């Protein structure tokens, strides 16, 4: 009987020649037969050992590798979340106040009755300021002399109606004056700054604007 194995090991070269196992060993002593069997068994053991599969990583090692990968992914996701810019906010949430300029300089005016100034006019639509709570007219102005009263207000030229309450001064020094709160009527309208001076003294405006509160 012959057993033939052809196996290559990375670290050991194994004799792959056929191993002859005679059915009988004529003219051989018992000792010779035992020695022959021992040699054959020794070769078989060597060849069988080469068939053993290389040891695989343990289950614990694989789990540790998976957990390490998950931890790394979590760290990357966290870094991406921090780097992601926050969503853009609406104008009303970014700030609680908006200023609408009406103009600067101009004058002087010495009208004793209300006069719509051509220098201070603006087209406004309250739909452009959704959610606003109120508007205020702010004017920095003075009289040329401390005589009489100088007054300013916002007028709706489209509907021919007064929009804001008036502000008054008797000072000959520039000062900031603010009207009471008001709201605009629906739709796009033209608004003008109106002025008057009870004693006909010159009135000077430095700057005028509308403050919109949200």
For 65-86, write each residue's pLDDT tens digit.
Answer: 776 767 766 666 666 655 545 4
Question: Are both 209 and 106 inside the same structural domain?
Answer: yes
**Residue 59 is assigned to a structural domain of this protein:** no
Question: Are both 112 and 197 inside the same structural domain?
Answer: yes
Q: Per residue in 44-62, pLDDT tens? A: 666 656 665 455 555 667 6
Q: Name the pairing type of β-strands 2-3 and 175-178.
A: unpaired
Region 2-11 average pLDDT? 44
Question: Are both 45 and 100 inside the same structural domain?
Answer: no
**Residue 90 is assigned to a structural domain of this protein:** no
pLDDT at 136 over 70: yes
Q: Per residue in 162-207, pLDDT tens? A: 999 999 999 999 999 999 999 999 999 999 999 999 999 999 999 9
Predicted pLDDT at 45: 62
**Residue 103 is assigned to a structural domain of this protein:** yes
Question: Are both 105 and 196 inside the same structural domain?
Answer: yes
Question: Are both 41 and 136 inside the same structural domain?
Answer: no
pLDDT at 88 over 50: no
Question: Are both 45 and 111 inside the same structural domain?
Answer: no
132 exposure class (CB count in 10 Å sphere: 0-12, 13-18, 19+) = middle
pLDDT at 25 over 80: no
Q: Per residue in 112-121, pLDDT tens? A: 999 999 999 9
**Residue 70 is assigned to a structural domain of this protein:** no
Bridge partner list, 103: 208
Question: Are both 106 and 195 inside the same structural domain?
Answer: yes
Predicted pLDDT at 66: 73
Residue ranges making up the domain that contains 190:
96-213
Question: Are both 100 and 17 inside the same structural domain?
Answer: no
Give the torsion through C-alpha atoms of 20, 21, 24, 29, to 10 deg.
Answer: 90
**Residue 75 is assigned to a structural domain of this protein:** no
Q: How much is the mean pLDDT over the chain? A: 79
Query: CATH no. for residue 173?
Result: 2.60.120.1340
Q: Which two tokens stand for residue 84?
A: 């992601």
Higher pLDDT, 4 or 125: 125
Given phi > 0 = left and psi -120 to 50 = alpha, else beta, which region is 172?
A: alpha
Question: Are both 46 and 148 inside the same structural domain?
Answer: no
Question: Are both 35 and 125 inside the same structural domain?
Answer: no
Question: Are both 112 and 209 inside the same structural domain?
Answer: yes
**Residue 83 is assigned to a structural domain of this protein:** no
Instruction: Report the domain count for the chain.
Output: 2
**Residue 79 is assigned to a structural domain of this protein:** no
Predicted pLDDT at 56: 53
Question: Are both 16 and 116 inside the same structural domain?
Answer: no
**Rounded Cα distance, 133 and 212, in Å:** 8
pLDDT at 102 over 90: yes
pLDDT at 20 over 80: no
**Residue 195 is assigned to a structural domain of this protein:** yes
């Amino acid at each position: 009987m012959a057993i033939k194995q052809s196996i290559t090991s990375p670290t050991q070269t194994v004799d792959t020649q056929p191993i002859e196992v005679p059915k009988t060993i004529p003219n051989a002593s018992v000792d010779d037969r035992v020695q022959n069997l021992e040699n054959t068994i020794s070769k078989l053991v060597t060849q069988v050992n080469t068939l053993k599969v290389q040891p695989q990583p343990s289950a614990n090692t694989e789990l540790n590798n998976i957990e390490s990968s998950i931890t790394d992914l979590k760290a990357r996701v966290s870094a991406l979340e921090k780097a992601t810019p926050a969503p853009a906010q609406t104008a009303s949430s970014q700030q609680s106040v908006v200023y609408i300029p009406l103009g600067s300089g101009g004058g002087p005016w010495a009208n004793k009755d209300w006069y719509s100034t051509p220098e201070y006019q603006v087209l406004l639509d309250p739909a452009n300021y959704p959610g606003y709570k109120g508007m205020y007219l702010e004017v920095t102005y003075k009289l040329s002399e401390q005589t009489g009263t100088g007054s300013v207000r916002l007028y709706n030229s489209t509907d021919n109606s007064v929009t804001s309450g008036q502000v008054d001064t008797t000072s000959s020094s520039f000062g900031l004056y603010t009207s009471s709160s008001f709201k605009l009527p629906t739709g796009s309208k033209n608004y003008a700054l109106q002025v008057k001076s009870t004693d006909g003294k010159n009135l000077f405006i430095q700057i005028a604007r509308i403050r919109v509160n949200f």
